[in-house]
Amino acid sequence: MKEVVGKCAGCGEDVVCRDGFFEGEIERGASFCFTCGRQLRAEFTEEEMGSFIAGLNKNPEQHTGYFGTEAKEVIDTLKTDFSDLACKDSFAVLKENGKIIAALGADWDQDSATGELWGPYSLASGEQWQKDASRLWRILQHKINQNGTWHGFYNVQNQQAIQWISLLGGKLKSREVILQVLPEELKPSEKESVEEFTELYTEEFKSLHLKVFPDSYFSSGDILSRKNDRNRLFVIEKNQRLAGYVYVEANPSHNEGSIEYIAVNPEFRGMGMGEALLKRAAAFLFQDMNAKEISICVNAGNEAAIHLYKKVGFSEKHRLEFYNF
Ligand SMILES: [Zn+2]
């Protein structure tokens, strides 16, 4: 005798009792079919997961924008700088014959109850991809077991993830362009009037940063306290005034660096200040920090900035869309 006793919290299929035997399992009050129950407990190492998602992240049709495509770098992030929850609790994974075939992770921030979604990734395509994504999403929610805000950052060519997050209620918040430059592509600098920040410019720097980036992830105070040998603040001075600044952070162990902020005082725009600042920042990252490439993310609507980066030698690498729900 077969009796339906509920729906699987992973795949949504019926969970049944057959001749008095429960064909499934219960985990923290939710029932799962045997297959999903097995996936819920599936184990993986950071090496295994890092290699799997970095490999798929190389393909624009599976690309999530939060991390790179080098396995070593992704593994290192998973081990040292990923999620406030344990790595094993931050991923839902589907395995077949001992190998990962699909995964969805969340870089979960406990204080803000926000999860950046890494994936979904699946070796399947089409309808099966969407099925894997739904199952992973339910399993991931069960594992994290908290309400929060979810962020997705997908390549415009990753239409399956965009469709998936839209169906969950994800709203398109912004379009971003990733630009990149390699050392040999950087245009040389003609004149060098850019200098290191000194306390002389503290007040002007604070007010310019607040004006240009009113609500950003680093305040002017954050930048001043983060400043060190690798995180540098360069300024350009004109008529004893602060005309602009650029703030960069280098990560020498990964041979990479990022230009976090660049701003030019409106009174000094159109005078090549932005170009000089960018070239100085890039030269620091390439020459002093041995960066192999520099990437930046710019709002797709900010054509002036995109134009400036291209003038210095950057080229467009990806277009991404940011969603949340
Ligand atoms: Zn199931």
Same domain, residue pair 195 and 314: yes
Task: Give the tens place of pLDDT for each residue, 131-163.
Answer: 999 999 999 999 999 999 999 999 999 999 999
Same domain? 143 vs 185: no
Say if residue 36's pLDDT is above 80: yes
- Using only the alpha carbons of the chain, give its radius of gyration: 24
Clarify whether residues 70 and 116 are in a common domain: yes
One domain, residues 165 and 200: no
Does 95 lie in the same domain as 33?
no
How far apart are alpha carbons 320 and 310 in whole angstroms? 18
Residue 90 CA to ligand 1 center (angstroms) comes to 19
Distance in Å, CA 168 to ligand 1 centroid: 19
Ligand 1 mean position, distance from CA 279 (Å): 54
CATH number, domain of 246, equals 3.40.630.30
CB 278 within 8 A of CB 285: no
Residue 105 contacts residue 67 (beta carbons within 8 Å): no
Spatial CA neighbour of 238 closest among 284, 271, 287, 189: 271
How far is ligand 1, taken at its centre, from the CA of residue 135, in Å?
Answer: 8
Ligand 1 centroid – CA 149 distance (Å):
25
Interstrand relation of 30-32 and 25-27 (parallel, antiparallel or unpaired): antiparallel
Residue 23 Cα to ligand 1 middle (Å): 11
More confident residue, 243 or 256: 243
Residues 205-244: pLDDT tens digits? 999 999 999 988 899 999 999 999 999 999 999 989 999 9
Instruction: State in Å: Cα 8 to ligand 1 middle.
Output: 5
Q: Which of 56-65, 183-192, 250-259 has the lowest mean pLDDT?
A: 183-192
Q: Is residue 325 part of a domain?
A: no
Nearest to 84 by CA among 113, 118, 47: 113
What's this model's pTM, rounded to 2 decimal places?
0.83
- State which residues form the domain around 72: 43-169
- 33 CA to centre of ligand 1 in angstroms: 4
Pair 95, 218 in one domain = no
In terms of domains, do 104 and 233 share one? no
Q: If you measure from the C-alpha of residue 61 to the centroid of ligand 1, how many angstroms do you get, rounded to a whole number? A: 27
- Rounded to whole angstroms, the Cα distance separating 47 from 42 reads 15
Question: What's the pLDDT at 190?
Answer: 66
**Left if phi > 0, otherwise alpha if psi is -120 to 50, otherwise beta: which for 64?**
beta
Q: Is residue 283 part of a domain?
A: yes
CA distance 293 to 320: 19
Same-domain check for residues 56 and 155: yes
Task: Please indicate, yes or no, if residue 313 is contained in any of the structural domains.
Answer: yes
Q: Are both 208 and 194 inside the same structural domain? A: yes
Q: What is the total count of domains within the chain?
A: 3
> 214 and 239: one domain?
yes
